[in-house]
């Protein structure tokens, strides 16, 4: 199976998912997300080992994540390919989100709240097809061991970061708010697959961690600072704890008002819209 066949397999499984449409929720028959960006990286890329050293020993290398499923495997990182998928919000969702100043729109809440069920369906379908084709595959979002930990350097951190994997796979660089700026902008969510086999990594069009962020490039931006109702974004970066606390408060408020489904987790996302990097790499 070559890269084009992998790309087609991924897109077909995304398109056939009923959960990827607002129609499943009683809304208009509109896709919930745009067609995914797909990036390939070598499991042996030095950045994966760097992340483990920088974030904490709990952080997985590709081989460590792969062996959680294939426990008897003796693979090493170089035997693996990391595939990153980036899903951009639709234009209507972003347009409505732009108009808000203190809390997310119902559409944004829905896309975030339905994300985990959507990923469970899509990831399971993709992995099953790959395995039926003789390709061993792991979807990070399907690993029960995936959880939050505490990094001595960064505070709250997961055992795997989809955005960091996307950075390695050439999909984008980080902004001041910690969001990943891609060719389709920053209003994105990501997932990761690890497969056994060596595929040519996609070439990165950048060389530094923050290269596509105007604030870090020349100090000419900082709009995400003014967009954050929690004051969690400053010139010093993104305060994850303050951000999370605000999301929890908004969640409680919107549930009381009957606007938000109680099964959804907290979200905000105002810093991803009405910013120069909303839809593309900022000029």
Half-sphere exposure of 207 (CA within 13 A, CB side): 0
The residues near 133 (Cβ < 8 Å, ≥ 6 apart) are 1
Cβ–Cβ under 8 Å, residues 81 and 195: yes
Every domain of the chain and the residues it spans: 3-272
CA angle 140, 224, 106 (to 5 degrees): 65
The pLDDT score that the predictor gives to residue 29 is: 72
The pLDDT score that the predictor gives to residue 20 is: 84
- Residue 188: Cβ within 10 Å count: 24
Nearest to 271 by CA among 179, 167, 185, 157: 179
pTM: 0.95
Question: Could you list the pLDDT tens digit for every one of the 283 residues in the chain?
Answer: 899 999 999 999 998 887 888 876 667 778 899 999 999 999 999 999 999 999 999 999 999 999 999 999 999 999 999 999 999 999 999 999 999 999 999 999 999 999 999 999 999 999 999 999 999 999 999 999 999 999 999 999 999 999 999 999 999 999 999 999 999 999 999 999 999 999 999 999 999 999 999 999 999 999 999 999 999 999 999 999 999 999 999 999 999 999 999 999 999 999 999 999 999 999 8
- 3-state secondary structure (DSSP) of residue 141: helix
Residue 52 tokens, joined: 């483990």
Residue 88 bridge partners (DSSP): 188
The pLDDT score that the predictor gives to residue 22 is: 80
CA distance 96 to 207: 34
Nearest to 276 by CA among 206, 232, 218, 231: 218
The pLDDT score that the predictor gives to residue 1 is: 86
- Residue 174: Cβ within 10 Å count: 23
Residue 194 bridge partners (DSSP): 82, 138
**CA-to-CA separations, 234 to 140, 177, 186, in angstroms, rounded:** 31, 8, 18
The pLDDT score that the predictor gives to residue 24 is: 60
């Amino acid at each position: 199976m070559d890269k084009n066949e992998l790309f087609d397999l991924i897109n077909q499984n995304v398109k056939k998912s009923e959960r990827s449409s607002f129609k499943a929720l009683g809304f208009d028959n509109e896709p919930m997300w745009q067609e995914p960006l797909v990036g390939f990286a070598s499991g042996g890329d030095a950045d994966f080992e760097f992340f483990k050293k920088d974030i904490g020993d709990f952080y997985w290398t590709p081989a460590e994540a792969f062996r959680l499923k294939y426990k008897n495997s003796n693979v090493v990182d170089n035997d693996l390919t990391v595939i990153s998928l980036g899903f951009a919000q639709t234009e209507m969702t972003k347009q409505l989100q732009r108009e808000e100043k203190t809390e997310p729109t119902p559409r944004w809440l829905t896309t975030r709240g339905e994300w985990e069920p959507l990923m469970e369906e899509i990831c399971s379908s993709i992995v099953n097809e790959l395995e039926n084709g003789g390709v061993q595959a792991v979807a990070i979002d399907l690993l029960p061991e995936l959880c939050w930990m505490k990094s001595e350097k960064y505070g709250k951190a997961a055992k795997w970061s989809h955005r960091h994997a996307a950075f390695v796979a050439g999909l984008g660089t980080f902004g001041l708010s910690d969001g990943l700026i891609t060719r389709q902008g920053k209003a994105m969510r990501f997932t990761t697959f690890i497969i056994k086999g060596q595929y040519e990594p996609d070439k990165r069009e950048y060389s530094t961690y923050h290269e596509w962020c105007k604030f870090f490039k020349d100090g000419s931006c900082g709009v995400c600072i003014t967009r954050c109702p929690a004051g969690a974004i400053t010139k010093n970066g993104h305060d994850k704890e303050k951000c999370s606390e605000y999301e929890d408060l908004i969640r409680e408020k919107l549930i009381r008002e009957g606007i938000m489904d109680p099964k959804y987790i907290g979200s905000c996302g105002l810093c991803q819209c009405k910013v120069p990097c909303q839809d593309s790499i900022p000029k």
